[in-house]
Amino acid sequence: MRMLLIHADYLEYEVRDKALKNPEPISDEQRKGRLDEVLAVFISVEKVDEANPEEVVGKAVAEIEDVAKQVKAERIFVYPFAHLSSELAKPDVALEVLKKIEEKLKEKGYEVKRAPFGYYKAFKLSCKGHPLAELSRTIVPEEGVSK
Ligand SMILES: C[C@@H](O)[C@H](N)C(=O)N[C@H]1[C@@H](O)[C@H](n2cnc3c(N)ncnc32)O[C@@H]1CO
């Protein structure tokens, strides 16, 4: 999994066309979204993650929470982003991983939005520009460790 983490004044998106034949079904209210004072996390779920999705979810949540605490962000935007890797996981695995990350961050008390999966989206992002405002993380399951 590859993550780009941007501490931002705001992130807003608007759904445009389908980018997959079967994108995630969404309500009208999910066609647009915005969070202010947010840690935006752009995530590419990778093929290697298919070996142990639960493990990479746990590691991703830990990394995201670590950065959120450092930048004092209480809101997190989970944003599916297929452009951080050339070895993407299958869409059904990727969507489940992203939903689990959203769920676990909410359980930890963060205000969380997740941008819709499987669409082209217009977005606006206002990066704060401080030294920790732009970070990236790479997460992989342990080699051959089967639970
Ligand atoms: C396109 C661009 O504007 C938009 N931002 C976009 O990337 N759309 C992606 C993700 O929402 C999702 N998607 C599919 N596979 C994956 C994956 N392995 N990891 C993350 N997202 C995925 O499916 C879309 C097409 O790849």
- Is the pLDDT confidence value at 124 over 80? yes
User: What are the tens digits of pLDDT across the range 61-119?
Assistant: 999 999 999 999 999 999 999 999 999 999 999 999 999 999 999 999 999 999 999 99
Q: State residue 147's pLDDT score.
A: 45
| Statement: residue 145 has pLDDT above 80 | no
**Mean pLDDT of the region 109-136:** 98
Distance set, CA 71 to CA 41, 53, 102 (Å) = 13, 27, 19
Cα 84 to ligand 1 centre (Å): 10
- The closest-lying atom of ligand 1 relative to the alpha carbon of residue 19 is 25
Dig out the tokens for 126 from the structure.
């206002």
Q: Note the ipTM here.
A: 0.97
Burial class (CB in 10 A: 0-12, 13-18, 19+), 5: buried
Protein residue with least CA distance to atom 23, ligand 1? 118
Centroid of ligand 1 to alpha carbon of 45 (angstroms): 9
State the pairing for strand pair 2-18/119-127: antiparallel
Helix (H) or strand (E) holding 54: helix 53-71
> What are the pLDDT digits (tens) for 57-72?
999 999 999 999 999 9
Beta bridge partners of 76: 39, 112
| Ligand 1, atom 15: closest residue by C-alpha | 91
What stretches of the chain adopt beta strand conformation (E)?
A: 2-18, 32-44, 75-80, 111-114, 119-127, 134-138
pLDDT band at 143 (very low <50, low <70, confident <90, very high): confident
